[in-house]
Amino acid sequence: MADKTYDLVLIGSGPGGYVAAIRASQLGLRTAIVERDDLGGICLNWGCIPTKALLRSAEIYETLHRLDEFGLKAEKVEFDIEAVVARSRKVAAQLSNGVKFLMKKNKIDVIQGTGRLAGAGRVSVESKDGEKSELTTKNIILATGARARTIPGLEPDGERIWTYREAMAPKTIPKSLIVVGSGAIGIEFASFYRAFGAEVTVIEMLDRILPVEDEEISKEAARAFKKRGIRLLTGASVEKVEKNKSGVIATVKAGSKIETIEAEIVISAVGIVGNVENLGLEEAGIKVEKTHVVVNEWLETGVKGVYAIGDLVGPPWLAHKASHEGVLAAERLAGLKGLHPIDTTKIPGCTYSTPQIASVGLTEAKAKEQGHDVKVGRFPFRANGKAIALGEIEGFVKTVFDIKTGELLGAHMIGAEVTELIQGFGIARTLEATEADLIHAVFPHPTLSEMMGEAVLDAEGRVLHT
């Protein structure tokens, strides 16, 4: 490939990188993306999208075992895990091809290879066959993402100890498995494998599962998962994992108690680390802390013309956060005025387990820690007509308001389709809506969204249907 000059070169084509490239192209900047694997990054190819395809299959399979509740019958309901995985991979491939189309449409050069900073305004690229080239550019955005974190004694081997990657393409469903870590990734895999009959144990070091969620949500989630037959061990750590022909034996310590748990597979879901290696960061003078690139509120690294976005720069580890950071960085380097830094408390987080979990803003505990006097509203699924008609009566919606200002500080949900509902409160947070604003909003009937309005009314002592 001949050396070329650009206004912007991005290293990494995940949901942050490719979106930033599109926005930059829209702003008239000559743009290129350097990608060593498939377009779309981990999220599209091995994360967000294909996992949702897997979970959709699991959801349908579980519903087929509840047909009598809906007056329906079916015999010999079975699953084909190879077909389930194949569908997931097909979905990922379709969307990766979609990103290719978007790159062509927006006249963005896609350069296959490994990118590295090579000095001021320069990016070196090495292709898989060893061919080297250099790009000259006014600006660079680092969007290399992150990978699964490993801990001593729990190093993935692809056979008995899996990361998300192996867990997404199983050849068979293991009879038993241990999931280490109860964040969104761990809980989603626990939910998926339990749906297809695996005996699942979740081990969490902290005192409750889904520790970033509101405490009431964590408690309700634990109740729901236990009801599905998932064993939860909190305040526990894996001391040792021994592998044998049939699986693993994990030594687990919980307080003063030590027990051994046998399983076919262990899934390690203990967080992520940024892909900061071999990027030339140290030579460029770019600061890295705890495997993540340090940036300011505008995603600037401190080195002129070099930005970093997405999982590479820190939490929350969310694709939609990366996309918005990509847009902000592109607009910033293009010189647009009137921009605003991203407020992470206005970014919704979602867990696509059964039941689903979603939240935005501060938990009740965090709001109190920050000095807010709060009032809280709640509304249960079992009191909502649409939820009853759907046969999905487990869960609730919780709202947290500031007593003095009426500001919506946070919203937290657990139950069917709450990952779709949460954006309503996300918009409310972005628009700085107050309790009074939300009370005057009209929610359509019959919908699950009515619970959002009722949870707001409940905070004011005006709830109508409980």
Which of 249, 270, 291 marks a domain boundary? 270
Start-to-end Cα distance in the chain: 67
Active site residue 412: no
Pair type for strands 161-162 and 146-148: unpaired
At which residue do the structure tokens 């990766």 appear? 96
CA–CA distance, 273 with 42 (Å, rounded to integer): 13
Token representation of residue 299: 């995603």
Residue 8 lies in a domain: yes
Residue 320 lies in a domain: yes
Q: How many domains does the chain have?
A: 3
- Supply the CATH number for residue 59's domain: 3.50.50.60
Residue 343 lies in a domain: no
Domain co-membership, 403 together with 448 = yes
Averaged pLDDT, 414-427: 98
Residue 154 lies in a domain: no
Averaged pLDDT, 13-29: 97
Neighbours of 261 (CB within 10 A): 18
Decide if 25 contacts 156 (C-beta within 8 A): no
Domain co-membership, 109 together with 189 = no
Residue 312 lies in a domain: yes
CA 89 and chain centroid, separation: 18
Domain co-membership, 142 together with 286 = yes
Q: What angle do CA 150, 175, 196 make, to 5 degrees?
A: 95
Smallest CA-to-CA distance from 293 within 117, 151, 43 is with 117
> What long-range pairs does 208-212 form, CB within 8 A, spacing at least 24?
208/234, 209/182, 209/234, 210/182, 210/183, 210/184, 210/351, 210/357, 211/182, 211/183, 212/183, 212/349
Exposure string of 226-255, with b = 16+ CB inside 10 Å and e = fewer, is eeeebebbbebebeebeeeeebbebebbee
Residue 345 sits at φ, ψ, to 5 deg, of -75, -5
Q: pLDDT tens digits, residue range 294-338?
A: 999 999 999 999 999 999 998 999 999 999 999 999 999 999 999
Handedness of CA 329, 331, 333, 338 (dihedral sign): negative
Q: Which pLDDT belongs to residue 328?
A: 98
Q: pLDDT tens digits, residue range 76-125?
A: 999 999 999 999 999 999 999 999 999 999 999 999 999 999 999 999 99
pLDDT confidence bin for 210, thresholds 50/70/90:
very high
What DSSP line would sit under 126-179, residue for residue? E-TTS-EEEEEEEEEEE---EEE---TT----SSSEE-HHHHTS-SS--SEEEE
Q: Which residues constitute the domain of residue 388?
A: 355-459
Domain co-membership, 51 together with 19 = yes
Q: pLDDT tens digits, residue range 342-391?
A: 999 999 999 999 999 999 999 999 999 999 999 999 999 999 999 999 99
Neighbours of 429 (CB within 10 A): 21
Smallest CA-to-CA distance from 108 within 159, 42, 35 is with 35
Which of 247, 270, 293 marks a domain boundary? 270
Averaged pLDDT, 408-413: 98
Q: Which pLDDT belongs to residue 1?
A: 47
Domain co-membership, 136 together with 179 = no
Averaged pLDDT, 177-181: 97
Domain co-membership, 435 together with 310 = no
Which of 270, 298, 324 marks a domain boundary? 270
Domain co-membership, 106 together with 137 = yes
Residue 340 lies in a domain: no
Domain co-membership, 196 together with 261 = yes
Q: Which of 65, 440, 445, 465 is catalytic?
A: 445
Residue type, position 72, single letter: L
Residue 137 lies in a domain: yes
Domain co-membership, 95 together with 113 = yes
Which residues make beta-bridge pairs with 132? Answer: 126
Domain co-membership, 37 together with 80 = yes
Domain co-membership, 264 together with 278 = no
Domain co-membership, 326 together with 230 = no
What average pLDDT is seen over the chain? Answer: 96
Q: Which pLDDT belongs to residue 3?
A: 61
Residue 26 lies in a domain: yes
Q: Is the pLDDT of residue 2 over 60?
A: no
